[in-house]
Amino acid sequence: MNKSTKNIKKRLQLGKLKLSRLLELTKAINNNLPQADLFKIYKEVLIDDLTIGKILLYSYDGEKWNQELCYGTECSIINVEKDLLSINEIVSSQSLDNPNLQDFDVIIPVFHKSHPLAYVLIGDLIGEKIEVSPIIKHLTFIQTFTNLIVVAIENKRLYKKNLNQIAIEKEMELASEMQTMLFPDKLPNNTEIEIAAKYLPHHMVGGDYYDFVQLNRDEIAFCIADVSGKGVSAALIMSNFQASLRSLIKRTSSLTELVTELNSTIIGSAKREKFITAFIGKYNCTTRNLQFINAGHNPPLLLIGHQFKELHDGCTILGMFEQIPSITEKNIKIPKNTVLMCFTDGVTEQTDINNVEFSTEALERIILNNKNKSITTLIENIISELSEFKAGNEFSDDVALLGLRFK
């Protein structure tokens, strides 16, 4: 057998080997083999089959670059961000003025659209010139093989990320449904009082809260509150606050005692990492007396005739001090057809595209213009104007409104 025939036979055998390895890799990908197994195949092909002497392989996992394979060369000599990110096509490292890359012959980038997923640096131990290097004979195959593995791993990562995201969304939906159950399902509208409310969480769950409790035939209690922070942690603290409030409010006639107990509960559960502002009121429909404590919350707006009164009196926020420094429990006689609007700071501090806040003055204007309409309509108009005001901006915080008309 002459030399030419031997070379042809050798090339045919190598071609069959490459095809066999591609089929092996495809089967491994289809069988969803772990990433480590895919890189094991990759290493066998480049080192054992193609006798590549030097290999460095880096891949991107969505957060950082990882060195997946190092063979026949000094490891950790490459900084991907500095040395490789500017390379967007196959190049000879000898054409680059970078001493960190001179130990290799060829650099192969792997891209998905415009995003780099991997870089493979390859070279020979033997001192051949690159024009006759075995790498050149196998370059197309190496590039294809690297692409297949890296893209398969990227697809696995994205698939897992998507599954995790779906699981998170399902959990958040469940949390949102459970939080909705905390709010009263019916609010009264009778000859003595009309109450309506609205809650728009910034995320699927949030830390704003309102409540209504019928204490007896003549008395009602109501509350609006806001936990520092947002999301699931705030919602958990708020659910604990709601359970404590409902448990305690029927056991004591004193709002001072109630607030003291609530403060201790929050200290115990939140460990001073979260705080709560709250406005708690009790109203007697017979005596028309409104008793309240404002625990560091946005002062509710009490509209009597055409005049607004802000309900400030109370104490500091809950969950900050072991002992609340001082508590003022206030009582007010409420004239007929008086409107009280309780709200969280997500209403008045919402900004427009120019970073201007909605403000308490805007809220007062809407209440005054709609004071003779139903509380439900009044709140709907507040939300409508707030949405129009923010224009292209997202809601920057949870939004809660609790309105009462004392008839």
178 inside domain: no
**195 and 123 share one domain:** no
What is the distance between the alpha carbons of residues 231 and 234, in angstroms, rounded to a whole number? 6
**258 and 399 share one domain:** yes
190 inside domain: yes
Contact status, residue 238 vs residue 199, Cβ threshold 8 Å: no
171 inside domain: no
Domain count for the chain = 2
**331 and 201 share one domain:** yes
53 inside domain: yes
pLDDT number for residue 376:
95
What is the distance between the alpha carbons of residues 312 and 195, in angstroms, rounded to a whole number? 21
Tens of pLDDT, residue by residue over 119-129, are 988 887 444 44
**28 and 85 share one domain:** yes
pLDDT number for residue 97:
85
pLDDT number for residue 128:
44
pLDDT number for residue 352:
87
CATH number assigned to the domain comprising residue 78: 3.30.450.40
| The last residue of a domain, from among 127, 161, 195 | 161
**248 and 375 share one domain:** yes
**100 and 50 share one domain:** yes
Tens of pLDDT, residue by residue over 37-65, are 888 888 888 888 887 888 888 888 878 89
50 inside domain: yes
**36 and 117 share one domain:** yes
**355 and 399 share one domain:** yes
220 inside domain: yes
Cα distances (Å, whole numbers) of residue 22 to 14, 18, 43, 150, 152: 12, 6, 13, 14, 13
175 inside domain: no
Plot region of 99 (φ>0 → left; ψ -120 to 50 → alpha; else → beta): alpha
**297 and 367 share one domain:** yes
Structural domain of 308 = 183-406
What is the distance between the alpha carbons of residues 321 and 295, in angstroms, rounded to a whole number? 12
CA angle 320, 264, 326 (to 5 degrees): 60
pLDDT number for residue 113:
76
321 inside domain: yes
What is the distance between the alpha carbons of residues 391 and 218, in angstroms, rounded to a whole number? 43
**192 and 136 share one domain:** no
pLDDT number for residue 302:
97
CATH number assigned to the domain comprising residue 193: 3.60.40.10
pLDDT number for residue 223:
96
| Segments of the chain scoring below 70 in pLDDT | 1-19, 22, 25, 29, 125-137, 167-169, 171-181, 203-205, 230-232
Burial 205-227 (b: 16+ CB within 10 A, else e): bbbbbbbbeeeeeebbbbbbbbb
pLDDT number for residue 129:
43
**325 and 199 share one domain:** yes
What is the distance between the alpha carbons of residues 150 and 108, in angstroms, rounded to a whole number? 12
Which contiguous run of DSSP H or E holds residue 388? helix 375-390
What is the distance between the alpha carbons of residues 292 and 309, in angstroms, rounded to a whole number? 14
Q: DSSP label at 86? A: T
**83 and 194 share one domain:** no
CA terminus-to-terminus distance, the chain: 110
